[in-house]
């Protein structure tokens, strides 16, 4: 009986065929995925406003009264301070405790940046975004 030898070519698994270039691409993808996960979990450097309650101490961080145009007091001053830290620009609000037209315009802008109705009234959701703002706003400030 005669044996026939057939040469078989060894097929490498797909992960062996990628070579150095493929390994670099794979590492880059893993790094990118890790950075995205880190950002999504909030493990990146905190926004300056995250320390807002420590900087703005005109009223308790748990005191969230409804504020409207014309109101005065420490809660208004707290909202003014938080809005200045949140988006130091457009205008810095004077910390005078008076809900004036400049503050009304800035509150409406901040509300718009967060997808809230532009009511100009500082209430529950608006207090929440003053203490925990979005990182960026692409809504131009009204002139």
Model pLDDT for residues 100-127, shown as the tens digit of each residue? 999 999 999 999 989 999 999 999 999 9
pLDDT beyond 80 at 86: no
DSSP string across 30-66: HHHHHHHHHHHTT-SPPPGGGGHHHH--SS-TT----
pLDDT confidence of residue 106: 92
The predicted-structure confidence for 31-67, as pLDDT tens digits, reads as follows: 555 544 545 444 444 444 444 556 889 999 899 999 9
pLDDT confidence of residue 90: 76
Higher pLDDT, 135 or 30: 135
Return the percentage of the chain with pLDDT > 70, whole number.
59
| 75, 103 contact by CB (below 8 A) | no
Distance CA 74, CA 95 (A): 9
Higher pLDDT, 93 or 48: 93
First to last CA, the chain: 97
| 112, 139 contact by CB (below 8 A) | yes
The DSSP H or E segment spanning 133 is none
pLDDT beyond 80 at 9: no
pTM for the structure as a whole:
0.63
């Amino acid at each position: 009986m005669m044996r026939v030898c057939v040469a078989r070519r060894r097929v490498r698994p797909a992960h062996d065929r990628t070579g150095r270039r493929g390994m670099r691409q794979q590492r880059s993808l893993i790094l990118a995925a890790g950075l995205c996960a880190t950002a999504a979990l909030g493990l990146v450097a905190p926004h300056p406003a995250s320390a807002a309650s420590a900087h703005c101490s005109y009223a308790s961080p748990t005191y969230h009264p409804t504020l409207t145009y014309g109101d005065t007091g420490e809660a208004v001053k707290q909202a003014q301070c938080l809005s200045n830290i949140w988006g130091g620009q457009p205008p810095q609000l004077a910390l005078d405790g008076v809900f004036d037209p400049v503050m009304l315009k800035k509150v409406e802008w901040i509300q718009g940046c967060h997808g809230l109705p532009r009511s100009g009234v500082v209430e529950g959701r608006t207090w929440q975004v003053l203490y925990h703002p979005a990182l960026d706003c692409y809504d131009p400030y009204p002139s």
